[in-house]
């Protein structure tokens, strides 16, 4: 597996990471703890060193699974987890990035993961009630105490990144980025990363499964699957957005690849400091995703994709209105 470096402080990770959320949270189904642990370890065997989780996934159970899976190879992997929510009676209950809460979450995450230091600690969403300078200061103190190695932010606005970075260097941002979610190209995030030496971790790089070609307007979304609440996953939107999947399929056929591999290869070709973190519950999909690192897209290929994609209008917001207000702040 190729490696990439996130930020300018030596955080080296596999060129493709593993987004662990979907193993037991978010999609209405969950693999067993043993199955999840086995898949994570199979990812390690295939060269993956970067694993993403969060306290709110479960809540808590995803961190426990990831920790149990990776503790035997702790020195060879990077743990990324996140803070920033209140969790009450096992449910997410609003934002909370008060410094005392950040410290409490760090200690709890360390215990669940079973490690002595969190490699990358993200603020999951910007809390408008807590100055970002205070958040950065709290994480800076955790780094000084040896409990955290690197500071990250998920879905911030560019101005917020700059304010945080002035207090303590931000190693990486985590934003949704893919061929159908290209906000980082126009909202200042990529420019800010380039200027300040910050890496970008791209979550949902396969459009929450849609860009793989495995879904269509006729797909029934399971009860409990959060995609049922997303505007892009209505039958009407999926029918309209099929044009983008058709584009990926056409390119894939010329490369003896799959649509998912082209989507991931395109993303990795944008910048050398972008690391996608696709998730899956299936070994053959894991292997398919990892093989994307071997797909070579020429400048002509990338230009063709850009031209074709520019003519496609993606139908539907990526989140419902109340969640869209929590990103880009």
> What DSSP character marks residue 311?
T
On the 0-12 / 13-18 / 19+ scale of CB atoms within 10 A, 131 is middle
Residue whose pair of structure tokens reads 């995450």 in the numeric block = 109
Q: What stretch of H or E contains 123?
A: strand 118-123
Dist CA 144 CA 136 (whole Å): 12
CA distance 174 to 32: 27
Q: Which two tokens stand for residue 257?
A: 């690849």
Residue 57 annotated to the active site: yes
Q: Which pair of structure tokens corresponds to residue 182?
A: 């290209």
Burial of 144 (0-12, 13-18, 19+ CB in 10 A): exposed
Distance CA 103, CA 243 (A): 46
CA atoms within 13 A on the CB side of 204: 18
**Residue 225, φ and ψ in degrees, nearest 5:** -80, 120
Q: Which of 27, 57, 122, 177 is catalytic?
A: 57
* Active-site amino acid positions: 57
């Amino acid at each position: 597996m190729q490696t990439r470096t996130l930020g300018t402080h030596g955080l080296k990770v596999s060129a493709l990471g593993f987004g662990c959320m979907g193993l037991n949270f978010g999609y209405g189904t969950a693999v067993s703890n043993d199955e999840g642990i086995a898949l994570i370890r199979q990812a390690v065997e295939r060269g993956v060193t970067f694993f993403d989780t969060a306290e709110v996934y479960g809540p808590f159970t995803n961190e426990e699974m990831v920790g149990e899976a990776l503790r035997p190879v702790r020195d060879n992997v990077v743990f990324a987890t996140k803070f920033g929510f209140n969790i009450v009676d096992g449910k997410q209950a609003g934002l909370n990035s008060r410094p005392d809460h950040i410290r409490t979450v760090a200690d709890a995450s360390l215990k669940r993961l079973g490690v002595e230091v969190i490699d990358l600690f993200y603020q999951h969403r910007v809390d408008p009630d807590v100055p970002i300078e205070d958040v950065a200061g709290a994480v800076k103190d955790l780094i000084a105490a040896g409990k955290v190695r690197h500071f990250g932010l998920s879905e911030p606005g560019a101005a917020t990144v700059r304010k945080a970075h002035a207090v303590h260097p931000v190693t990486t941002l985590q934003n949704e980025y893919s061929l159908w979610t290209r906000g980082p190209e126009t909202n200042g995030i990529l420019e800010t990363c380039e200027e300040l030496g910050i890496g970008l971790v791209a979550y949902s790089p396969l459009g929450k499964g849609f860009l793989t070609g495995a879904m269509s307007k006729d797909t029934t979304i399971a009860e409990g699957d959060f995609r049922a609440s997303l505007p892009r996953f209505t039958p009407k939107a999926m029918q309209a957005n099929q044009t983008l999947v058709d584009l990926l399929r056409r390119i894939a056929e010329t490369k003896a690849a799959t649509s998912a591999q082209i989507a991931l290869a395109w993303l990795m070709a944008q910048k050398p400091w972008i690391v996608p973190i696709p998730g899956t519950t299936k070994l053959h999909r894991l292997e398919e995703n990892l093989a994307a690192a071997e797909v070579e897209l020429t400048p002509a290929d990338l230009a063709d994709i850009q031209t074709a994609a520019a003519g496609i209008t993606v139908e539907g917001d990526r989140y419902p209105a109340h969640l869209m207000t929590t990103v880009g702040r």
